[in-house]
Structure 1
Amino acid sequence: MPPAQPSSGRIFQNPILEALTKTHIAIPLTIFYGLGIASGHVSVHILGYSVLHTLSFYAVGALFFTLIEYLAHRYLYHMGTAGSARKVRLQYIMHGIHHDHPRDKKRLALPPLLSVVLATLFMGLFRLILGPSGIAFGGGYMTGYATYLMVHYAVHTMNPPKNIFGVLWKHHNLHHYVGDTGAFGVSSPLWDHIFGTMPEDPKARRKVATT
């Protein structure tokens, strides 16, 4: 018999709305890696910036995404909900269902429609603040987002690799299965180290206790 499929839960009773909460991971990866590549092309070949200038803004944009990823996960997706039924519902729609069904492959990324709307707003904001250089910055940001999606999908659907990237599996599993008050970074544990939200590894604690 084939292995049982992971449960997915349900957010909306309306089948159309429910369908809009799901996506195949290939769709957002194609959109946002494509947007990242296109932004680099525009920066160099249309706006006339040097490759070094473009790559510099691209890299800073990707790094900036990891900070936004951390802050959104910590303060938005894990917002306090005490005493507010609306906040409980909102938090469940945004993120709680993922914690209840972490292996649901179709809910490991924002739905494409919402993602494209947010991407448009962010790209416009970067262009407004940084001028034409905001195109390369935004391209790096979108590439960072696509990489986050790829890492998140891999962590929840694949066995951890026996190399340095296995750290990402371990880090995110601490968030899901040890305590969701830490390990908020997904694509990188960098900001957890900086802001002091690295949870204690229970295996390391047990090892110390037995020595």
Structure 2
Amino acid sequence: MVAQKFNVDLSKPLVFQVGHLGEDYEEWVHQPIVSKEGPRFFENDFLEMFTRTKWWVIPVVWIPVVCWLVTMSIRMGHAVPQAALMVVGGILLWTLIEYALHRFLFHIRTSSYWANTLHYLLHGCHHKHPMDGLRLVFPPAATAILCVPIWCLIRLLTTPTTAPAIFGGGLLGYVMYDCTHYYLHHGQPSKDTARDMKKYHLNHHYRIQNKGFGITSPLWDIVFGTLPPPMPSRKSS
């Protein structure tokens, strides 16, 4: 099967094809294919293995790291309530990082071969195949790479004793983000708040891709004026 209008063969590994779309990549990647069966990325089985991650891997890998980081600050003299406040501050910081990454990096416009390819790997694949459950959360190796500059920034702006707990809070915020993101795509929420969050995020995918960048919270969309209009309610016939 060949995608209409664009010279991309969906039956073959996609990663090294999408770069050839040039300026047409932006339009192509925002025409979602709603299927739980994800595409193949690479011909090489070893590389392909690293592109697929089950959602539960995220808390299993990172929650112990969060606990270790918070314990570090406590061992360096901070009381538990103080460490808890640092964790809350880290979570709030994460929501801003989440918004900034989603708006300015994940939705950057690209047209060159390698820029298209990298964008597809980073976030474009999710917009093209939004129901691909094995490519919805970040692989731990990719998260570890992104953690390095965030840790350096927190370490620069805080103190040696507070940095671990604040960073741990940010990492906990990331875990909440990735698990929430998975649930918004694959869960069937029964509570109004969760249903509203799901509608809010699906609005970003299927209606207005340049608004609604918050996943765990619309806070920064409100602050920076990127709050999308609500989806129209369905009227019964």
TM-score, structure 1 as length reference: 0.87
Q: How many residues align?
A: 200
Q: 1:120 deviation in Å?
A: 4.8
Task: Give the corresponding residue for 1:142.
Answer: 171
Q: Give CA deviations for 1:126-146 in whole Å, capped at 9, x if unaligned.
A: 234322200110010000000
CA distance in 2, matches of 1:79, 1:118: 17
Task: Give the corresponding residue for 1:43.
Answer: 73
CA distance in 2, matches of 1:114, 1:78: 18
Task: Give the corresponding residue for 1:116.
Answer: 144
Task: Give the corresponding residue for 1:26.
Answer: 56
Task: Give the corresponding residue for 1:107.
Answer: 135
Task: Give the corresponding residue for 1:9.
Answer: 39
Q: 1:147 deviation in Å?
A: 0.1
Would you say 1:89 and 2:113 are equivalent positions?
Answer: no
Q: 1:15 deviation in Å?
A: 1.6
> Where does 1:121-132 land on structure 2 (aligned, <5 Å)?
121-130=149-158, 131-132=160-161
Q: 1:113 deviation in Å?
A: 1.7
CA distance in 1, matches of 2:224, 2:156: 29
CA distance in 1, matches of 2:216, 2:96: 10
Give the letter aligned to residue 168 of structure 2.
Answer: G
Q: 1:49 is paired with a residue of what secondary structure?
A: coil
Q: Is the 8 A contact 1:32 1:145 kept in 2?
A: no
Task: Give the corresponding residue for 2:30.
Answer: none
Q: 1:125 deviation in Å?
A: 4.2
Task: Give the corresponding residue for 1:183.
Answer: 212
Give the letter aligned to residue 57 of structure 2.
Answer: I
The list of structure 1 runs, each at least 4 consecutive aligned residues, that deviate by more than 6 angstroms after superposition, is none
**Structure (1/2) with the larger helix percentage:** 1
Q: 1:55 deviation in Å?
A: 1.6
Q: 1:66 deviation in Å?
A: 0.6
Would you say 1:76 and 2:109 are equivalent positions?
Answer: no
Q: Is the 8 A contact 1:127 1:134 kept in 2?
A: yes
Q: Give CA deviations for 1:48-99 in whole Å, capped at 9, x if unaligned.
A: 2012321222111110101111111111111011x42322222111111111
Q: 1:164 is paired with a residue of what secondary structure?
A: helix
After superposition, the Cα gap between the structure-2 partners of 1:76 and 1:164, relative to the gap in structure 1 and judged at 3 Å, is same
CA distance in 2, matches of 1:120, 1:167: 34
Give the letter aligned to residue 170 of structure 1.
Answer: K
Task: Give the corresponding residue for 2:19.
Answer: none
CA distance in 2, matches of 1:137, 1:173: 31
Q: Is the 8 A contact 1:29 1:149 kept in 2?
A: no
Q: Give CA deviations for 1:154-208 in whole Å, capped at 9, x if unaligned.
A: 011111222322221111111011121111110111111111111112316x88x
Give the letter aligned to residue 203 of structure 1.
Answer: P
> Where does 1:56-71 land on structure 2 (aligned, <5 Å)?
56-71=85-100
What's the C-alpha RMSD, in Å, of the aligned pairs? 1.9
Percent of aligned pairs sharing the same letter = 34
CA distance in 2, matches of 1:18, 1:150: 22
Unaligned runs of at least 5 residues, structure 1: none
CA distance in 2, matches of 1:117, 1:92: 18
